[in-house]
């Protein structure tokens, strides 16, 4: 066994730590991760754990969410550089301007946002539960931020029942895909099912066979028996599917589907982070309480999912 993996596992035991890894991480991270999954799954795991330390192999908003859900635990982000381009596209000032333009309409924020943005919104959502959150909120109109494409996708799935006003943020990784890439891929692999993340541009999602969160994409592959799948989300999902389903063929829709921020964390960084107990996530009390209310509202209005 890789000695670095052994060293990390030993440290985990000594310090009563868990490692949570998003499925866009470098695939080697899975060797030390206790749980690997999408944002919703990992936030539930952060809430449940009785570990003293959580090392979050992901990006900063995910580690912040873990801290909000487990305020008494030490939450570490292996690399401080691991931010999220989309989350950084909105700040409190621009959020307030957006809300002022649509007075009285509840604001739904995607979990891909900082704690101070969550603190000013009514309810949070992830890509797995965004449709249910917007539907269950019971309002004819909602504000959705920061991702315009996820917001518009939710609106289309609710078939005009809710008017969704979207902020103009986006994910640069998913926006690298064009409808032409999908059309080209169809010609090259006519029997392959194209699976896209709702952060993609709507012209891409409209051409896909299935649109869902990272977890839903992985579940689709698990539950279906097609022989070929084309993955239209970050490469980490493709890498894990290739590793886990040797009898199926996978194509990555574009080599450009790499989120540089998600790829910061290496096994070395995870080891150093746990050894030195750095870089710890800290949040001020007032922001935490308000952001927590926004996240709790999400859990309140959505069905509890069985966490494995």
Q: Give the footprint of ligand 13P on this chain (CB under 6 A).
A: 38-39, 112, 126-127, 171, 199, 213-214
In angstroms, what is the minimal distance from the CB of 200 to ligand SF4?
A: 11
- How far is the C-alpha of 63 from the C-alpha of 83, rounded, in Å? 10
Residue 95 vs 198, nearer CB to ligand SF4: 198
Q: Which does 35 bind (CB under 5 to 8 A by kind): ligand SF4, ligand 13P, none?
A: none
In angstroms, what is the minimal distance from the CB of 127 to ligand 13P?
A: 4
Q: Which does 261 bind (CB under 5 to 8 A by kind): ligand 13P, ligand SF4, none?
A: ligand SF4
Residue 185 vs 213, nearer CB to ligand 13P: 213
Q: If you count DSSP H runs as helices and E runs as strands, how many of each does the chain have, helices first?
A: 13, 12
Residue 75 vs 171, nearer CB to ligand SF4: 171
Burial class (CB in 10 A: 0-12, 13-18, 19+), 88: middle
- Binding residues (CB under 6 A) for ligand SF4: these are 59, 84-86, 112, 171-173, 199, 234, 259, 261-262
Asked whether the beta carbons of 71 and 115 are under 8 A apart, the reply is no
Residue 165 vs 176, nearer CB to ligand SF4: 176
In angstroms, what is the minimal distance from the CB of 65 to ligand SF4?
A: 12
In 3-state terms, what secondary structure has residue 77?
A: coil
Q: Which does 38 bind (CB under 5 to 8 A by kind): ligand SF4, ligand 13P, none?
A: ligand 13P
**C-beta atoms surrounding 158 within 10 Å:** 15
- How far is the C-alpha of 96 from the C-alpha of 183, rounded, in Å? 40
In angstroms, what is the minimal distance from the CB of 172 to ligand 13P?
A: 10
- How far is the C-alpha of 194 from the C-alpha of 208, rounded, in Å? 5
List Cβ neighbours of 97 (8 Å cut-off, separation of 6 or more): none
Q: Which does 85 bind (CB under 5 to 8 A by kind): ligand 13P, ligand SF4, none?
A: ligand SF4
Picking from 256, 267, 190, the residue whose alpha carbon sits closest to that of residue 228 is 190
In angstroms, what is the minimal distance from the CB of 306 to ligand SF4?
A: 25
Question: What is the number of the residue whose Cβ is closest to ligand 13P?
Answer: 38
Residue 221 vs 262, nearer CB to ligand SF4: 262
Asked whether the beta carbons of 234 and 262 are under 8 A apart, the reply is yes
Residue 25 vs 126, nearer CB to ligand 13P: 126
Picking from 255, 258, 231, the residue whose alpha carbon sits closest to that of residue 245 is 231
């Amino acid at each position: 066994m890789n000695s670095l993996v052994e060293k990390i596992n030993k440290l985990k035991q000594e310090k009563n730590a868990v490692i949570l890894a998003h499925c866009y991480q470098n695939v080697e991270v899975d060797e030390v991760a206790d749980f690997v999954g999408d944002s919703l799954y990992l936030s539930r795991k952060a809430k449940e754990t009785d570990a003293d330390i959580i090392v979050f192999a992901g990006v900063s908003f995910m580690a912040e969410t873990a801290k909000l859900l487990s305020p008494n635990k030490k939450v570490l982000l292996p690399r401080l550089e691991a931010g999220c381009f989309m989350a950084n596209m909105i700040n409190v000032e621009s959020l307030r301007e957006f809300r002022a333009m649509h007075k009285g309409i509840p604001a739904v924020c995607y979990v891909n946002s900082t704690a101070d943005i969550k603190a000013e919104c009514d309810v949070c959502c992830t890509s797995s539960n965004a449709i249910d959150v917007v539907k269950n909120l019971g309002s004819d109109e909602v504000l959705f931020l920061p991702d315009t494409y996820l917001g518009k996708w939710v609106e289309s799935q609710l078939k005009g029942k809710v008017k969704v006003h979207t902020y103009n943020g986006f994910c640069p990784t998913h926006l690298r895909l064009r409808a032409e890439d999908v059309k080209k891929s169809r010609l090259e692999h006519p029997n392959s099912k194209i699976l896209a993340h709702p952060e993609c541009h709507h012209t891409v999602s409209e051409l896909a066979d299935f649109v869902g969160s990272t977890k839903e994409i992985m579940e689709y592959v698990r539950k279906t028996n097609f022989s070929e799948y084309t993955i239209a989300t970050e490469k980490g999902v493709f890498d894990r599917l290739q590793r886990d389903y040797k009898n199926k063929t996978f194509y990555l829709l574009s080599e450009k589907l790499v989120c540089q921020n998600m790829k910061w964390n290496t096994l070395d960084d995870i080891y150093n982070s746990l050894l030195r107990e750095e870089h710890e996530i800290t949040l001020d009390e007032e922001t935490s309480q308000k952001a927590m209310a926004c996240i709790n509202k999400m859990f309140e209005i959505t069905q509890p999912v069985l966490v494995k």
